[in-house]
Structures are given as C-alpha cells and as structure tokens.
Structure 1
Amino acid sequence: MASLRLWPRDQIEFAGALIVGCFAAVLLLTSQSGASVLTYVLTLFVLFRAAQWSDIAKTDLFIMIAALLFYLSVSVFWSSEWELRDFGSHFVRFLLVSAFIVAVAEVRLRGQIQRWLRRTLTIVGGGAICAALINHLVWPPADGRLNGLGQLDTHVIAALVYGIVAVLALQAVLREQGAFWRVSGIVTILVAAYAIWGSDSRNAWVSVVFGLAILLLAEKLADRQRFVASVLSVALLGGVMLVALFVMDGTRELLLPRGTSFRPEIWDQAMARILDGHLLFGLGINTPNDFDLEVTHVLHPHNLYLSVLYQGGLVGLLLFLGVLWKTIIELLRHYDDPDAKLALGILAAGLPAYLLDGHELLDKIGSTWFLIWLPVAIAVGLRWSRSLRET
C-alpha cells in the first residue's frame, strides 16, 4: 500500500494539511465561524511566507482574481446598507480566498496534489459522506431528502460538494497504482453516488454526471483538440436532451418534480432591481438580495452569475467571466498535466450547477471553495510554474 504521511515535513506540506483541515471543517462543522478558524491560520501562514510566493502575485491570472475579489469587497461602499466594519469583513474574506489560492498553487507546484492532497481529500470526503448517510438513515428527515453535515445542510449544496469528492475519487481510481487507493476511490464514488441520489437534486445529478464525464474524457483522450470537441458534443447533446425533457408534458415532472422552484420569478425581480440604474456597477455586496414572492420569501437569487451581476454589475460579472475563461485556457494549455485534468472535471461540475444555485462568490470557506476556487487555484499554480519556466 502506498504510504500517506500524517505529519507534514515542511512548510508546503503544512499548508497542504491546513487545506485538508479547512475542507474537513466544511464537511463536518455546523458553525461557519468554527469552520473558518483554520482558514485564518492558513491566511496568517501564507502572509508570513509572502517572500516565498511573491512571484504568483505577478501572474496575469492571479491579478485578475485579486481585482475581482477586491472589487466585490469595495462594492460595499455603494450598497444600500453598510458600515465601515462591513468593508473590513469583506476585505478579510478577500484575504482568506486569496491565501487559499496561493496555498493550493504552492502545493500544486510541489506536485502534492497527485501524491498527497487528492488521496487525503478522497479519504476525508468519503468518511464525511458515510457519516452523513448514517445520520440520514438513523434520523431520516421529514421530506426524505438527504442533507449533509457541517456547512452542507442543504440538499443541493451537499450533493454538489459530494460530487466534487467523487471527481477526486474517480481520478484516484484511474491513476493510482496501489490497490488500497483504487478500492478507496471506488468505495468513495459509490457512497457519494448514493448520497447524491438521496439528495433528490436534479441540478446535482446533472452537474456531477457532467463533471465525472469530463474528467473521464480528459483522462482517456490524449489529444487536446479531440477533448474540446468531445466536451462541446457532450454539452450540446446533454442540453438538447434536457430541453426535450422539459418541453414534453410526460417528462417535465420527471425532470422537475418540484416545478421551477420559483426560479423565473426570482430572476425577474433580481433583474428588475439591476436594471433600475445599477447595471454597470451593481447594487453592492451588502445590499439585501432577498425577494418576496406571492407564496414564499426567498433569501437569494439562486444563481451565482446573477448574484455577481447583482452585487457588482457588468464590471463584476465580466471580471468573473474573465477569470473563468483565463482559468480554462490555462488548464487546456497544460492539458497533459493530471492536475489540469482534475481541475477541468471539477469546473465542469461547478459551472453549470451555479446556473441554478449559489449566491456568494466572495465568502468564508464553503461550497464555492470546492467548486470554483479549488480549480482556479490549480490553474494559478500551473500559470506560476509556466512563468518560472519562462524566466
């Protein structure tokens, strides 16, 4: 059996241990403040070592990320409700996310994502999913849908994060040589699949399957052009199938058993506020984004891209889309690297999922750190290694 060290030998491995601890906290701790403790430790550790990674701050991708996060944090000043301490709170979140990205980039540069981080997250994630399944079976909820533990107390978010664990486990199955790691990966995939099915979230079902399919294509297709063509084909075919299921009366209820969950009504109200003089710069990150509908009260827009537009306007949305585009280009540039393939699989699950859910891009550690910032951080690490080779 391949060895897995429990204690870090140096600063990079210590950063990796903190990253795993941060994710484990999200999976298991109910308090976001409690789950954030390790992110504060990680941030202080990264800032203390600034001289070791200052080259990252000179790369174009990291500059774009920093610009996006800082812009969202300063949007508090044109929010309808704000105090100076609100800016401090969002600025701290800017530092937390940035430090996490730097730490993952350093771990990737060392090659520890393949040798250590993926293995650890597969084991920790699989254990957390098993704990959630036991909790679900012993104390079944009234609606029968599986909730996660820790920060994953909603069906959809739990299923999406468990899907990312499944993506990590799938690459372990495909790449590990040791039987222990391959069997562990298979078990993790099976329990994750059962948990995702139990969530009854169609969004998670579709998004996670797409992410797994993209990772499988990336691992099996050596040619980048064939991979891109295959991804476009899968996306087009999947989109056509979903539209067909939606427009046919006999299958619409199968696809959306709870209807549209008021998404069109929510988005209409959000766009009405944005178009009321806030299209360019948004309403600000501190402006309330809840909505009163005829039959319910909704706490957020249930669309991450719309939320960024709501908070930061076209400026914020274009910065966000620019970061995603640059990330994908960097991952494709390093297509032969297994870390890039892993990040492509994670992004393939996260990007479509956030069309129907999500609302806080700049946040303390949570689902966006799994689905967005982890693959972005891997791309930053790849960009950093490329800049080091070019100097």
Structure 2
Amino acid sequence: MQFSYLNYSKQRVFDFICLWLLPVGLLLLLSDLYFLPGRSLHHKLYYGLFSIPTLIAIILRPRELKEILRDPIVLGFMLFAAWAMASLMWTNGEEDFLGSLKPALHLLMLFWGCTLLTRYRSESLQPVFFAAAIIALVATVYNLYMFISHFAPQDRMVGAGAFDNPLLSSHAFGFFCIYWLTLGMTCKRPQILFIAIPAFTIMFAALLATGSRTPLVAVVMAMVWLSFICWNRRSLALMSMLIAGGVVVIALFSEMIMSRGSSFRFELWQLVLEQIKLMPWIGHGYESTLSLDPGAGLLLSEPHNFALGVLYYTGILGFTPWLFMQVWGLYSSWRHRVQPLFILASAWLVYGIGAGLTEGGGILPRPKEHWYLLWIPLALIAALSINQRFKTLRDRPVRSLSRAALDTLQAHAHVIEEDGLGPKVLRLENGNFLKLFRGRRCYTSGSFNPYSERFAVNSERLQDMGIAAPKILDLYQLTDGSTAVLYQPLPGQTLRQVMQSMGSPAVRQALVERFGKFLAVLHGKGVYFRSLHLGNVLLMDDGEFALIDIADMHIYPSSLRIALRKRNLRHMQRYPEDRRWLFEEQLQALLDGYASLADPVAVNSLSQQIKVQAAT
C-alpha cells in the first residue's frame, strides 16, 4: 500500500508539472521581460517555474528521455554543449566549471520542458503564445506612448521593464512582430486579421523606434520564408507588400539604410576572423576572453555575429552541430508545414538567423533576449518534431469547404443528429460520416484548437494507444466559421442500443463486467472522456469496445486521479437508462470488472461514492 501511495504521489507531481507549471513558466519566459524590473528576477522565474520542474519531471519519469534523445536537434544541441564544455580545458577564462555548465543545463531543460509540455498539454501552446503576445502588445503600446511623449532627434527607444538597450529591445519587439504576422498568415477565421494586422503594425513601429536596422532585415527574411512555407493568397499579398515597401525604402531612405553610422561591425568581423584563423578547428575555448579594438578608442568583447562567435569559441567542430540544428529545424518545419505551430517556430528561427547577423555574445547565454533569436525557436521545433510521433498534433491539412459543396453533401446525406441550428452528424452516400462543429462568436478555446481538430487528434492518439476510434479522412473549414471532420465509421452498435436489445440478465451482467474492465483501461491510460456514457461507447462487430464523439476528451500524462474517475461516473449517472443498468441492476458486475484492472483504492472510492449517491 505504501509503494502504491508513493507511485500515486509521483504521478500527481508529474501531472502538475506538465499541465500547470510548464505552461505558466513558458508564458513568463516569453513575456516577463516586458514588465520585470531586471533580468535577475527573469532568471529566477525561469529556473523556478520551468527549468527545475522539468528536471524533477525527468527524474520522476526517466523513460521520457527515450524519445527526446532520438531527436536530431536535441542531439545536435547536446553535442554542441558537450564540445563547448570540453573546450574549457584550453580556455583562458576564470569562471569555474560548474558556473560554465549551468547555462547549458538550463538550455537543455528548455528543450526537454518544451517537449513535455507539447506532449501532455499541446492544446495550451497556442493560448500561451497568444497571451504572451497580448502582454507584449500592451507593454509596447505604453513604450511607444512614452517614447513619443519625450521624443528628441536621434533618440532610440528602449523598452521598459528589464530591457536596457535599443538593440536587445528590438529582439523582443521583432519576436512578437513575427508572431502577429504568422497569425495573420495562418488563421482560418477572417476575424483574427482584425487583431493581427493592427498588432503587427504596433510591434513593427516599436521595432523602427529602436533604430536598429538588422532586425528589419530579419523581419524581411521571415516574411519571405512565410510567403513560401504558407503559399496561399496571403502569400501573394505579403510578397507584393515587400516589393512595394522595398521600392519606397530604396527611393526615400537609401542613404539612411546604407549608411554605417557609428557601427564598426565590419572592422570587428575582420578582427574576429583573424583570431579564428589561429585556432580554426577547436576554437579558443568556451569562456575565453575576447578583446577587439576596431579603431574607435574602445575595446569590445563581442564579435557581434552569432556564427563568428561560435567559430571563435568552439571552432569548426562546435560550429558544425550549431549550424546543423538550424538547418534541420528549417527542414523539419518545411516537412510539417501543415501544422501552424511549425510555421510559427520556423518563422521565429528565420528571424533569429537574420537578427543574429549583427548580434552575438555568449554562445550559451543565460535566459535573456538572445533566447528569442535562437534557443526558443529551436526548442519549440524539436518539441513539435518529437511529438509528431506521439500523434499529439494535427498532421493533416484543413481544407476549405464552400457553402455550395456543403449543401450538395447535405442534399444527398442522411441526418444522424441535429439541433436547433441544423444537422450535426451526416451519413454521406459513400457511408462516411461528416460531423459539424458550429462556430462561436465569442473567443473561446475552440478558437485556438477547433473541436474538429481535437476530434481528429484524439482519434489518432486513441488508436496509437490500442483503443478503437473512428478513422479520420479529412478536416474542413466552412465559410461561416464552423469546422467539420470527415471520418470512416466503425462497424457496430452503441452500448446503449445493445443493452436495450438484451433480454437475458446474465448476458447483460457479462457485458457490464466487460465494460467495467474497459473503463478501468481508459482510466489507467489517463483517458478522461467528459462525455462518457453508453451512447458514446461502441460495441463493434468483433466484440471489442470503441469510443465515438471524442472531441470532448483529454489524455492526461498519468492514470486518472480519483477525483476525475468519480466525475466520470457521475456523468454517466445523469442518464436514467445508464444509471439503472450500471449502478442499480449490475453495479457489482461493473465494480468487479473495474477492480480486475484498477487499483483497489480507486475501486473503494468509486464504490463508496456510488453507495452514497444511491442512498440519497
């Protein structure tokens, strides 16, 4: 019993980390620089809410590393970090080994944490990014207001909060500028454009106000990438906007763009290249000191270019895995471009590559603005790639279904289910089912993760777990904002229909006991089906059980906690026939079947709950 309780406690801690701590930690990592007084608190929040919880989760469930360590990007990062640590043997830096190792470990936790979050709470990614973008947008509006109110010639805007110089501020503004641009390119609902376009304009205005030119080049690079990876009508509009904007800039601001101003980057790059030539293969070593005099009367310690920095510190041997991570990240995103999250992450990465042309300090930095440019996009791409194998993300395109095409389908289809707004489930002429999900005017979770896509993802995940579910054929977006899923129905009858046709109590008892076992399997695998009742459980022709109407379902990281199991049974008791068959006539058969596969503590808790409810 003590071992069982300890195992139960470990599961609950793991679930809490994946379902709650990691989403909050990621949200703050993306947005808290906009309002925190300094980077020190930013570091502590990341360590306490993301990095350390990820380490605890991995310790509690080390088998999670099996799939994580197979990903090429994660392997590339570990090889790069290992070589950087090895280079400490010939570095001339003064920091101790443990102090040098910590940033690499925290970056590794970023990769692992994003993977756990994507696997067990993938539906939270879009809301987290949106919430962070809203926080950034509100803070940026305030920054612009203050900048305009006190504007003087030659001023460059520095963001409030933890930002302390224009260039680093531009990284954060550009990061969310790309978010709103990508949202506008990938959104299926036209209403989203009324949010995305003004938001993009505000973030781009803030980027201009910083006076940094390289981020503008990075934004253009991201726009070009988005035009090709999305390739829709909006791509043509975006390319047209780029061409028109380029003509205007060349005509009116060519001198300002081509002018070097006070920049000494070309001199810096030449000096760094001369240093790289001295130790081209192994580099000068991680944490080695760098002192550059570009002829301006001051010494600089940064190469101001990510690639040159990596070459200087780790040489060609370190540069190879570093470059591989980025190339593989873009290649992987291109392969999976039907998933909007891949498009977003790759656009961030392209922006970071462009911004990194004139930026660069430590190659393995602590959490700061540089993470926006490289490490956050790479960690997200790696997490998405890993979880494509776990079927936690949509991997098929969403096609547009015109009103005329829908009317044609409805005219030759048999209505299985409908409500006051019209048909909900249609049986088509070829025997396939089309299930409609009505669009809602208010902004809900369905706006981020449409129910049709949840239905498809849940079906594929159930099948991957060995639980029968409908086979998904296609996904549709309707002109009125509704969505639909086309699927192949399973042969059989609902358990409610089977129970109604049974006359023998003994046969019904055997069936209920089998259903109890099936229920225990679902709960043991972490499947929480909110709409679980006998009308949504199918007894197939081969005698196995299957689940249907599965949009309203969540799969937890561990077996369900007792509270969720009780809630599941309470839902079934709302239906008079289900209640009579399962909880009055055949209660013992249900509990016997459940007890054969479930933990005794859960069985006793459910039994007590049913008896208390029966008494009342």
TM range (shorter): 0.7 to 0.9
Partner-residue secondary structure (3-state), 1:355: helix
Question: What CA deviation, in whole Å up to 9, does each residue of 1:322-371 have, x standing for no partner?
Answer: 11112112112212111111112112211122112222231111223212
Q: What is the TM-score normalised by the length of structure 2? A: 0.54
> 1:19: Cα distance to partner?
1.0
Partner of 2:332: 330
2:51 corresponds to 1:43: yes
> 1:285: Cα distance to partner?
2.0
Partner-residue secondary structure (3-state), 2:383: helix
> 1:251: Cα distance to partner?
7.2
Paired residue type of 2:28: G
Partner of 1:362: 364
Paired residue type of 1:207: A
Give the structure with the higher percent helix.
Answer: 1
> 1:217: Cα distance to partner?
3.9
Partner of 1:209: 220
Tell me if the contact between 2:83 and 2:318 (Cα under 8 Å) persists in the aligned partners.
yes
Paired residue type of 2:353: L
> 1:37: Cα distance to partner?
0.4
> 1:308: Cα distance to partner?
0.5
Tell me if the contact between 2:229 and 2:334 (Cα under 8 Å) persists in the aligned partners.
no
Partner of 2:181: 170
> Relative to structure 1, is the Cα distance of residues 279 and 151 closer, same or farther in structure 2, using a 3 angstrom cutoff?
farther
Partner-residue secondary structure (3-state), 1:291: coil
> 1:320: Cα distance to partner?
0.5
Partner-residue secondary structure (3-state), 1:323: helix
Question: What CA deviation, in whole Å up to 9, does each residue of 1:63-100 have, x standing for no partner?
Answer: 111111232234233211324x2x21221111111111
> 1:212: Cα distance to partner?
3.4
Range that drifts further, 50-59 or 280-289: 50-59
> 1:387: Cα distance to partner?
4.0
Alpha-carbon distance in 1 for matches of 2:360, 2:71: 28
Give the structure with the higher percent strand.
Answer: 2
Alpha-carbon distance in 1 for matches of 2:148, 2:301: 29
Tell me if the contact between 2:133 and 2:179 (Cα under 8 Å) persists in the aligned partners.
yes
> 1:311: Cα distance to partner?
0.7
Partner of 1:373: 375
Alpha-carbon distance in 2 for matches of 1:213, 1:108: 27
1:1-391 alignment, distance < 5 Å: 11-41=18-48, 42-50=50-58, 51=61, 53-54=64-65, 55-83=67-95, 85=96, 87-109=97-119, 110-112=121-123, 114-140=125-151, 143-173=154-184, 174-175=186-187, 177=189, 179=191, 182-221=193-232, 253-259=255-261, 261-276=263-278, 278-297=279-298, 298-388=300-390
> 1:280: Cα distance to partner?
1.1
Alpha-carbon distance in 1 for matches of 2:351, 2:337: 18
Partner-residue secondary structure (3-state), 2:158: coil
> 1:140: Cα distance to partner?
4.3
> 1:60: Cα distance to partner?
2.8
Alpha-carbon distance in 1 for matches of 2:42, 2:153: 27
Question: What CA deviation, in whole Å up to 9, does each residue of 1:233-267 have, x standing for no partner?
Answer: x8xx99xx89xx7xx9x976332333471112111
> 1:177: Cα distance to partner?
3.9
Partner of 1:3: none
> 1:48: Cα distance to partner?
0.6
> Relative to structure 1, is the Cα distance of residues 204 and 183 closer, same or farther in structure 2, using a 3 angstrom cutoff?
same
Alpha-carbon distance in 2 for matches of 1:46, 1:289: 34
Range that drifts further, 60-69 or 73-82: 73-82
Alpha-carbon distance in 2 for matches of 1:71, 1:30: 35
> Relative to structure 1, is the Cα distance of residues 139 and 287 closer, same or farther in structure 2, using a 3 angstrom cutoff?
farther
Question: What CA deviation, in whole Å up to 9, does each residue of 1:151-185 have, x standing for no partner?
Answer: 43222232232111012122334416495x65443
Paired residue type of 1:40: Y
Alpha-carbon distance in 1 for matches of 2:165, 2:83: 29
Range that drifts further, 92-101 or 149-158: 149-158
| Unpaired stretches in structure 1, ≥5 consecutive residues | 1-7
Q: What is the TM-score normalised by the length of structure 1? A: 0.82
Tell me if the contact between 2:174 and 2:219 (Cα under 8 Å) persists in the aligned partners.
yes
Alpha-carbon distance in 2 for matches of 1:272, 1:108: 43
> Relative to structure 1, is the Cα distance of residues 306 and 119 closer, same or farther in structure 2, using a 3 angstrom cutoff?
same
Paired residue type of 1:304: F
Partner of 1:4: none
> Relative to structure 1, is the Cα distance of residues 149 and 360 closer, same or farther in structure 2, using a 3 angstrom cutoff?
farther
Partner-residue secondary structure (3-state), 1:120: helix
Alpha-carbon distance in 2 for matches of 1:197, 1:333: 33
Tell me if the contact between 1:26 and 1:365 (Cα under 8 Å) persists in the aligned partners.
no
Q: Percent same amino acid at aligned positions? A: 19
Tell me if the contact between 1:68 and 1:319 (Cα under 8 Å) persists in the aligned partners.
yes
Alpha-carbon distance in 1 for matches of 2:390, 2:43: 32
Tell me if the contact between 1:281 and 1:316 (Cα under 8 Å) persists in the aligned partners.
yes
Paired residue type of 1:284: G
Question: What CA deviation, in whole Å up to 9, does each residue of 1:2-60 have, x standing for no partner?
Answer: xxxxxx98733420111111222333335322210012111110011002632312333
> 1:210: Cα distance to partner?
2.4
> Relative to structure 1, is the Cα distance of residues 176 and 113 closer, same or farther in structure 2, using a 3 angstrom cutoff?
farther
Partner-residue secondary structure (3-state), 1:354: helix
> Relative to structure 1, is the Cα distance of residues 34 and 296 closer, same or farther in structure 2, using a 3 angstrom cutoff?
farther
Alpha-carbon distance in 2 for matches of 1:292, 1:10: 48
Paired residue type of 1:108: T
Paired residue type of 1:36: H
> Relative to structure 1, is the Cα distance of residues 266 and 113 closer, same or farther in structure 2, using a 3 angstrom cutoff?
farther
Paired residue type of 1:118: F
